[in-house]
Structure 1
């Protein structure tokens, strides 16, 4: 009978374990997935830190670049404030929404009635701006809009509302719906002309209103071509004109005791010599609640000076710039660099924020895409993919065999996914 030998058994068992270990360990370490590379964002991200627009501290103000959907700079109060005759632009837009008019066309005719004439008498007596009318005169839609926009005629605001909607109350209901449709949630109108302090809005939304005004061909045409006379050769003073020598084109300029001085305008500043940008910097701005015209003028001139400094372009994302440093457990290093350059008007980059997103990877060839960088401004997001500036290769058999913990740990983690 064979005898059981403990020593021999243990030797065979140890040999079997060794063979099994080698059979599992070697393939696991040599063929298993490598641990992921780690990334460290660059200490100093290569984006411009341009100065922003200079806005006053009085009342409320805001600036929006042409083509943008939101202001990129806001000064002073963020609460809705009385907006004086800017409310007349809401009237003009709502009327044109209900009664479209082709550029250059005269439109339908309104015969001045008793209520229209009484408005003229009442507003004139109270010292409010008016354009004279007489009973039974015939005013075309275009002429009424010219008196409203250029002459800031309070009586014509009411007349347009009656003509288009049958009455002021009906107009106010239509205006409320129109403002909601445009997403101008902070703007509310309590009358047609802004004499009521309850016709108010935030500077942010009023700058967006300026964009809608500029997009309406009839209003843009009226502002660009002030008439010399209206009905019966009646003169009309262009109340919107303001600091034209500085590149300012007024849209609305007015004053009430409750609203203070209010100005809504567009402006254009040429790109500086040597800039990659050839088009002028165009934008809209609003000032609500300025205490007086001297303060307003100083604030507007300071804004225009800052616009001249910000009319050029600066890089938001630089091609080839490093946005992250890549390292691996086996000592390989590389940089994640941007592929696509992105630039922005210098004026609009002062509030830029940056976000770097990297993929999970272990190795990669030169130029391999490993993530992206996004620079966000209020005017939108600007993005570039990131690529490796040098290859990250497999560390080889020796490192794998002598570093079982990270390799096998990665393998086990992958099997659990």
Structure 2
């Protein structure tokens, strides 16, 4: 049997050994944690190096910063069209174009026999006629004869008809367009549409459909001052009439153009020696002298054509003087105008790695035009750029002039290359940002 002393010694010895083990446990835990943390950090370093290297060396570069430039426009020596200040005037290149010159008032003014051009176009739409063809025969009635008598007694332009005569559609149009015959205007409206009122409904719908919203007809002849149009609309009407194959054919024929019929005086021709082709020329007390025309001027062997309307002239002497001044200004103003000069910079690209290049006009562009002022600033469209070779197309510049567009490619004047491994490794953030952005867009 053990003595209490020996048992006490044994207990005391056991307690001291356990305490030393407890004291060593935190040290062991700390060591283990440190080893685990080191392994984790090492793994992260290895993993990060595995991602960082490929990401920065192979990842997409940020696009270069784009700055649009505003170079001075090409030099110009303007010689704008000379138009009368009174009445209303306009010049256009095409029926759908905005006028490149206007003068006078913008309001609709009485248009006299220009209304007959509306009728000719509307009738030809309803009763088509092939160039050179005569078309159907139309018998003159007592009402047609009475119209002739009434207009003649009032001093209005007429071409004689008699009951029972047969006029072909072409002959009717010749009397209407060349002779500006008022009685034929009513006769054609009744023949083609049944009545003048029915014609007016069709004619005003046709005007609206063709964008001539500032023009309206109140009669077939244009004697009614409510038959009125704007200068811009009437210039476009001149284009539409001159472009129609049947009307242009009629205008090109001699004055006595009615086959086997009494001659018709050509009322449209005026100053042909100045390059002017008259399409409608007339006078009423309400409208004054109204003239619709096309004209061509030679510019170094290249023709430049335009159409015009001059409405509300006080007399024919004034019309002659104004047309002469207009054609003189055309001779001075129509020429090849620089639009886009080769090598002109319209944009600059600056990269984050300090490379830059400009987007310049590849091919110079000129245009035969009536130089009335400075060339408007171009519309510039560009592509995003990271790296490109010099001469690469990066967009285009376009200029709208007289309703037509002129454009040229924009190319880089120098190369933008890859920044290299050093820059990529030292600038991971923009590359990773592009990489993340490209992934989010997928």
Specify the TM-score bucket, using the shorter chain as the normaliser.
0.7 to 0.9
- 404-413 vs 361-370, which moves further: 404-413
Equivalent residue for 1:387, pick from 404, 407, 411: 411
When structure 1 is superposed on structure 2, of 256-265 and 404-413 the one drifting more is: 404-413
Q: Could you tell me how far apart the structure 2 residues matched to 1:375 and 1:90 are?
A: 34
Structure 1 residues 133-144: aligned runs within 5 Å: 133-144=161-172
- Who is 2:380 aligned against? 356
Distance 2:352 2:77 in 1: 39
- Show the counterpart of 2:9: none
Partner secondary structure for residue 306 of structure 2? strand
Normalised by the size of structure 2, how large is the TM-score?
0.82
Alignment partner of 1:101 is 2:129: yes
Distance 1:41 1:47, change over 3 A: farther
User: What is the CA–CA distance in structure 1 between the aligned matches of 2:319 and 2:31, rounded to whole Å?
Assistant: 105
In 2, the alpha carbon distance for the partners of 1:38 and 1:122 equals: 77
Aligned-partner Cα distance in 2 for 1:353–1:80: 32
- Residue correspondences, number: 412
- Partner residue, 1:41: 68
Unaligned runs of 5+ in 1: 273-277
Structure 1: distance between partners of 2:130 and 2:30? 110
CA contact (8 A) 1:348 1:377 kept: no
Unaligned runs of 5+ in 2: 1-24
Compute the displacement of 1:231 (Å). Answer: 7.7
1:300 is aligned to 2:323: yes
Measure, in 2, the Cα distance between the counterparts of 1:230 and 1:56: 36
| TM-score, structure 1 normalization | 0.86
Task: Say which SS state the counterpart of residue 187 (structure 1) adopts.
Answer: coil
1:147-190 Cα distance to aligned partner (Å, 9 max, x none):
22122111111111122222212222232333344343333211
**Is residue 333–residue 372 contact of structure 2 (8 Å, CA) maintained in 1?**
no
Distance in 2 separating the partners of 1:222 and 1:5:
110
| 1:336–1:389 CA contact under 8 A, matched in 2 | yes
Please point out which of 373, 394, 402 is paired with 2:397: 373
1:123 aligns with 2:151: yes
CA distance in 1, matches of 2:43, 2:318: 93
Q: Choose which of 425, 432, 435 in structure 2 pairs with 1:401.
A: 425
Q: 1:156/1:410 Cα in 2 relative to 1: closer, same or farther (>3 Å)?
A: same
Distance (Å, rounded) in 2 between the aligned partners of 1:48 and 1:136:
67
Q: Which moved more, 1:307-316 or 1:39-48?
A: 39-48
Contact 2:71 2:344 in 1 (8 A): no
Match of 1:32 in 2: 59
1:227 and 1:55, CA in 2 relative to 1: closer, same or farther beyond 3 A? closer
| 1:4 aligned residue | 30
Match of 1:275 in 2: none
User: What secondary structure, in the 3-state scheme, does the structure 2 residue paired with 1:56 have?
Assistant: coil
Does structure 1 residue 336 correspond to structure 2 residue 363?
A: no
Aligned CA-pair RMSD: 3.1
Residue 230 of structure 2 is aligned to residue 198 of structure 1: no
